[in-house]
Structure formats: C-alpha cells, structure tokens
Chains A and B, each alone.
Chain A
Amino acid sequence: DSGVTQTPKHLITATGQRVTLRCSPRSGDLSVYWYQQSLDQGLQFLIQYYNGEERAKGNILERFSAQQFPDLHSELNLSSLELGDSALYFCASSVGQGGSETQYFGPGTRLLVL
C-alpha cells in the first residue's frame, strides 16, 4: 500500500460524458501527479500540482483539467469523453516539487468509455 488513494477504482461511461477522478496523496506529500496508461501509448505524464499550484504540464488534452484543493487532494476532470480516452489513470504523490525524488503511485482508476 503506497498510501495514495484513488476513487473510483472502475468507471464505465459513454462517449460525450464527463467524469471526475479523485486522488488523495500520502500524508505530508505536497505534489500530486496524474498519468494516463494505455496499451498503445504506455504511461504518459499529464500534469503536476504542488501545494495547490500547477507545476508541470505534459500531454494533457484540452478536454481534461485538474486541480489540487487546500487539503491537497486532487481531481482530474475528463469531459467530452471519446472511446480513445479509455485507459488506466494513475495519481502519484511526492514530498517536494519533483525531480528525481520518489513518486508513490496509487492503485489507479480504470476508465472504460463505451
């Protein structure tokens, strides 16, 4: 158990819909990262927040957005969903702003868009 929690574990929805994925970081960690894992693209970095502020951005689509709240939990919002958005979405956390420090990954949310 990494100490990072993600909900829900599974999500099935239809194209065009909007969903929200939630992540609670390890106690004391200030950074939250979001990743997307699919068979064809592998594990792709989406976005990082540190203490409520956006820190780094990766291959995140404009239809996707995220935020980190004062209690440090984070939400990833996916809208106008397409079939290709079906993937595993992981949240990770770390103590500081990143670099080569350890990122602790949650168990992931499996999203299926039908």
Chain B
Amino acid sequence: TQLLEQSPQFLSIQEGENLTVYCNSSSVFSSLQWYRQEPGEGPVLLVTVVTGGEVKKLKRLTFQFGDARKDSSLHITAAQPGDTGLYLCAGFRAGGTSYGKLTFGQGTILTVHP
C-alpha cells in the first residue's frame, strides 16, 4: 500500500504551459518535501513544507501543503524544457522511532517539449 499517491504519473506538455502535480495521502505528515531527480542522479530537495496551509514559492514553482497536512501540490508556471525530470514528494511522520524515515510517492515524470 502506497502511503503517498502522486498524480499524474506522466505529464508531457509544451513549453510555456502550466501544470500541477498532486501528492495525496490518508495519513497526516509532520512535514512534506518535494524533490526533483534527473536521469543518472540522485533526488535533489526543492522545498520542505511543515505547516498546514503553507505556501512556498521557488521562482516559477509554487508548493502548497494541505490544511490537514495530508496532501500537497506542486504548480509550475510557464514550464520550460529545463523543468523536465522526475518529481517526487516525500512525507515525514514524527514520533516513535521514525527519525529520518521518509516515505516517497511513486513520482511524476514531467517532459516539457520546446
């Protein structure tokens, strides 16, 4: 059972279009992170959101954490070919022996065509 469901799995769009990737769960997370991974490399952290309802912006990327801290979204405005990659959400649930244990979604493969 996947704790974090990402959608869509694949996204192929033209340069200049907007897009949104969703990360949903029935579980509450203490914090949620978004990563971007390029072929042949490890994931790179984009942002961490910790407060329900929090919105963070990173240039053309907007990240939102749901009020109940069960879901998150990543919105990209005016996508560019350089945005192409695998986008992963990852949740952290505090308590017990969780320490640094992150639960990752299946990922969204984004392709932006020139």
Contact = CB atoms under 8 A, between A and B. Distances in A.
A74 interface: no
A99 B100 contact: yes
A5 to B, nearest CB: 11
Assign chain B's interface to a size class: 20 to 34
Contacts of A108: 40-42
With most chain B CB atoms within 10 A of its CB, the pick from A42, A92, A101 is: A42
Q: Binding site of B, secondary structure by majority: helix, strand, loop or mixed?
A: loop
A95 to B, nearest CB: 11
Given A33-B100, A98-B99, A99-B100, 18 more contacts: A43-B90, A43-B107, A45-B101, A45-B102, A45-B103, A50-B99, A55-B97, A56-B97, A56-B99, A58-B101, A98-B100, A99-B30, A100-B33, A102-B45, A103-B45, A105-B43, A107-B40, A107-B42
Interface of A: 2, 4, 31, 33, 42-45, 48, 50, 55-58, 90, 92, 94, 97-108
